[in-house]
Structure 1
Amino acid sequence: MKTSRIAAVFMLVSIFSAGVALAHKVNLFAYVEGGKIHTESYFPDGRMVEGGTVRVFDSADTLLLEGTTDTGGLFSFPIPKVDDLTIVIDAGMGHKNSFQLKRTEVEAGK
């Protein structure tokens, strides 16, 4: 009887923890084309991240640029540096994610 109570409590905690983790998820995709880097940001339910802050860092973790997503969750910018780049989206209220672009991808898109 005691074991089943512990199992029930564990299951409830697991269920509520999973919901909290999913609630703070945001998706970010980036690609290089024609000398520009294009980003797309959206929530798991398909809503676009409008007004999210996009930050771009080089391999030394130096901030290269910052911008804001449009109503379609898009943000594009000229290649700031040929390097491994980390692109971070901050959609507010704990919704944050990052995307890695390798130096080879950046070079290929020039």
Structure 2
Amino acid sequence: MKLASLKNKSDFDFIFEKNNLKISSGEFAVLLVFKNKKEINYGFIFPKKNIHLAVNRNFAKRSAKEMLKTLSPKKGFDIVFLVRKKIVNFDKDKVKKNFAELKRKIEFCF
């Protein structure tokens, strides 16, 4: 399955308006729109006010992208990753567990 990033504001707006599924785990949430294409489009909304250090924001993005690579969906979808609230004590193990749970919930929907 091909991975591509969302580029335009209109792509993000489409997902916020037409989302088929909302899933959350810990501080992270996911919005999904199912498509008939064999492509996964992804985007991140990890604001600096919620995850202060760039190192931690990048770690969260890499973890989310790695989770997408290990998925095996039957059809394509658009996905946006969000941080729901401020993360004061960023724990990498906790972030990995949150993304593992998100992966489990997403696979359950397919």
TM exceeding 0.5: no
What TM-score results when the alignment is normalised by the length of structure 2?
A: 0.28
Q: Which has the larger Rg? A: 1
Higher RCO, Cα 8 Å, sep 6+: 2
Higher strand share: 1
Q: Select the structure that is richer in helix.
A: 2
